[in-house]
């Protein structure tokens, strides 16, 4: 290429740049609009619809589900309904499971004692490992066994692409990809699965945004924490008839805060380290299908519920053992649990939590599911034989004995929503991005946000009241 042409080429690029800056509406949007207008006009002239067949029922349904007025209220009500069914449905089975499991713990520990097995082995096995397992199963299994099938029904109906359709403009406005609504929805099940689902986004920039922000939708491992807190602290403030609705509503509120942070962080990323414009895409709304109930039960119980539960169990057993050891090994008359949590306590108090909760989050890095069981076991300590087979007793422990307030609950909900992803998700981020730098950002940025937000909330509330 001659130098002449090269100079002319760079002049062309310069004027393109200048002209692009001169346009107030993005050129891309203007072109897409022009293309759609032309396509619409040409198709209108060429097509004659025979027998004035009115809109089919699914077209009518789509018109409502994606309408300006109804799309968002319907999504909110749907989300609230899913949580309400989960909360109401899981309450009784959870208590029943806990009752049976803890009765068995007493029985087995008593049996061990009576045949002369050393106290530390009994304690480690039954009050440590077994109790961790029992907690995880009774707290997690019922909500998951309800939440996953209900969510899968929505998925099979074909509702999720409509959600993506409705939320497209929000994501576009923050410089992210409209399909991020889909990957976000997958994150409700499991953030690691959500991160893998980001493969549907072609543009590397927007895919990274989706990966880095997936953590802000609470995964199934974190729902039990949210549901428990909503039940104990929020529902308790309402008359019994409204309690379950209040609990579901507050979980929806937490999810909305998560969506808010997803959008804000996406916006910040696309304005700073991942600068660029949102790319357009075509999302085909698949036909509505009648969900196959048998298949749904199979996939959601076998593939998801048991899969996630098994992972939690693998993590809970060693965590239960670790907590028991920490509570029973004493240095200078003080157990390691007390020692570590007292070191963490000032930091915890500053963000509305306490040292034990932070300790639980450190132990729960492999799996968020075990946060609540870890907190409770750490509170109960070594010798205490408190029966915790109902929410009422849990309430006594947390509020009366440990001094939790509504502020603690709110901060813990926020921390649970915003903090760093579990190690499985972090590892998946690394596999998907192939970059240590992005993985580190994906792990540390949410943690920093969680600390800042909880600190701000705690200090503001303490200042005001």
Residue 299 contacts other proteins per CB under 8 A: no
String marking each residue 230-269 x if it binds other proteins according to CB under 8 A? ----------------------------------------
Torsion of CA 197, 203, 209, 212, to 10 degrees: 50
Is residue 40 near other proteins by the rule CB under 8 A?
yes
Residue 15 as a binder of other proteins (CB under 8 A): the answer is yes
Site size for other proteins (CB under 8 A): 51
Q: Say if residues 192 and 425 touch (Cβ distance below 8 Å).
A: yes
Q: Which is nearer to other proteins, 107 or 169 (CB)?
A: 169
Which of residues 70, 245, 267, 281 is near other proteins by CB under 8 A? 281
* Residue 302 makes contact with other proteins by CB under 8 A: no
The Cα–Cα gap between 97 and 138 comes to 5
| SS3 at position 331 | strand
Asked if residue 12 binds other proteins (CB under 8 A), the reply is: yes
Residue 317: name the closest of 365, 359, 370, 376 by CA. Answer: 370
What is residue 116's DSSP assignment?
T
b/e map of 72-93 (b: 16 or more CB within 10 Å)?
eebbeeebbebbbbbbebbbee
Binding of other proteins by 6 (CB under 8 A) = yes
Instruction: By CB under 8 A, tell whether 153 contacts other proteins.
Output: no
Specify the residue, 122 or 203, whose C-beta has the smaller distance to other proteins.
203
- 464 interacts with other proteins by CB under 8 A: no
275 is an interface residue for other proteins by CB under 8 A: no
Q: Residue 335's beta-bridge partner residues? A: 330
434 lies in the binding site for other proteins (CB under 8 A): no
Q: Which residues contact 195 (CB under 8 A, 6 or more apart)?
A: 183, 187, 211, 214, 425, 428, 429, 432
Shorter beta-carbon distance to other proteins: residue 52 or 69:
52
* Nearer to other proteins (CB atom), residue 26 or residue 384: 26
Compare residues 29 and 299 and give the one whose CB is closer to other proteins: 29
Does 3 bind other proteins (CB under 8 A)? Our answer is no
Q: Does residue 151 contact residue 220 with C-beta atoms inside 8 Å?
A: no
Contact present, 218 and 416 (Cβ < 8 Å): yes
Listed ranges 259-267, 280-288, 311-319, 367-375: which one lies at the site for other proteins (CB under 8 A) = 280-288
169 binds other proteins (CB under 8 A): no
Binding mask 173-212 for other proteins (x = CB under 8 A): ------x--------------------x-xx---------
Within 10 angstroms of residue 136's Cβ, the number of other Cβ atoms is 27
Pairing of strands 330-331, 334-335: antiparallel
The verdict on 329 binding other proteins (CB under 8 A) reads no
Residue 99 and residue 389 in contact, taking contact as beta carbons nearer than 8 Å? yes
CB nearer to other proteins: give 49 or 436: 49
Binding status of residue 271 toward other proteins by CB under 8 A: no
Region binding other proteins by CB under 8 A among candidate stretches 253-261, 281-289, 357-365, 442-450: 281-289
DSSP class of residue 330 equals: E
Residue 321 CA to residue 309 CA, distance in Å, equals: 18
CA–CA dist 219, 184 (Å, integer): 10
Contacts of 239 (CB under 8 A, 6+ apart): none
Taking residues 41 to 60 in sequence order and writing x for each that binds other proteins by CB under 8 A, - otherwise, the string is -xxxxxxxxxx-x-------
* Site of interaction with other proteins (CB under 8 A): 1, 5-6, 8-13, 15-16, 19-20, 22-25, 27-28, 30-32, 34-40, 42-51, 53, 179, 200, 202-203, 277, 279-284
């Amino acid at each position: 290429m001659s130098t002449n042409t090269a100079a002319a080429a760079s002049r062309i690029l310069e004027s393109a740049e200048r002209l692009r800056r001169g346009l107030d509406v993005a050129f891309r949007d203007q072109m897409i609009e022009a293309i759609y207008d032309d396509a619409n006009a040409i198709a209108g002239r060429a097509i004659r619809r025979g027998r004035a067949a009115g809109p089919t029922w699914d077209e009518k349904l789509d018109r409502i589900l994606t309408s300006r007025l109804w799309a968002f209220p319907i999504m909110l009500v749907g989300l609230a309904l899913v949580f309400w069914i989960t909360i109401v449905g899981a309450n009784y089975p959870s208590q029943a499971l806990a009752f049976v499991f803890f009765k068995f713990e007493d029985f087995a520990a008593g049996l061990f004692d009576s045949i002369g097995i050393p106290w530390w082995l009994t304690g480690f096995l039954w009050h440590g490992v077994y109790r961790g397992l029992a907690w995880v199963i009774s707290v997690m299994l019922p909500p998951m066994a309800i939440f996953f099938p209900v969510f899968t029904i929505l998925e099979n109906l074909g509702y999720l692409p409509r959600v993506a359709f409705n939320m497209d403009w929000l994501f576009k406005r923050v410089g992210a990809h409209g399909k991020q609504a889909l990957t976000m929805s997958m994150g409700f099940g499991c953030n690691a699965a959500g991160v893998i689902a980001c493969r549907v986004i072609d543009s590397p920039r927007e895919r990274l945004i989706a990966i880095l922000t997936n953590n802000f939708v609470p995964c199934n491992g974190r729902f039990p924490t949210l549901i428990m807190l909503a039940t104990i602290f929020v529902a308790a403030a309402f008359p019994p008839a409204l309690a379950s609705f209040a609990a579901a509503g507050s979980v929806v509120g937490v999810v909305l805060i998560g969506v808010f942070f997803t959008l804000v962080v996406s916006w910040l990323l696309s304005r700073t380290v991942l600068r660029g414009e949102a790319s357009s895409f075509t999302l085909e709304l698949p036909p509505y299908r009648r969900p196959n109930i048998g298949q749904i039960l199979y996939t959601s119980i076998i593939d998801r519920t048991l899969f996630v539960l098994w992972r939690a169990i693998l993590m809970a057993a060693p965590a239960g053992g670790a907590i028991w050891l920490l509570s029973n090994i004493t240095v200078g008359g003080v157990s390691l649990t007390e020692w570590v949590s007292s070191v963490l306590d000032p930091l915890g108090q500053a963000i509305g939590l306490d040292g034990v909760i932070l300790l639980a989050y450190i132990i729960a890095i492999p799996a968020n599911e075990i946060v609540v069981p870890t907190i409770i076991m750490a509170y109960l300590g070594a010798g205490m034989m408190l029966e915790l087979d109902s929410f009422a007793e849990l309430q006594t422990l947390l509020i009366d004995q440990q001094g939790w307030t509504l502020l603690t609950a709110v901060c813990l909900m926020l921390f649970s929503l915003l903090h760093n992803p579990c190690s499985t998700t972090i590892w998946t981020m690394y596999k998907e991005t192939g970059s240590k730098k992005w993985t580190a950002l994906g792990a540390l940025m949410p943690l920093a946000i969680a600390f800042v937000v909880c600190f701000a909330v705690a200090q503001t509330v303490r200042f005001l009241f």
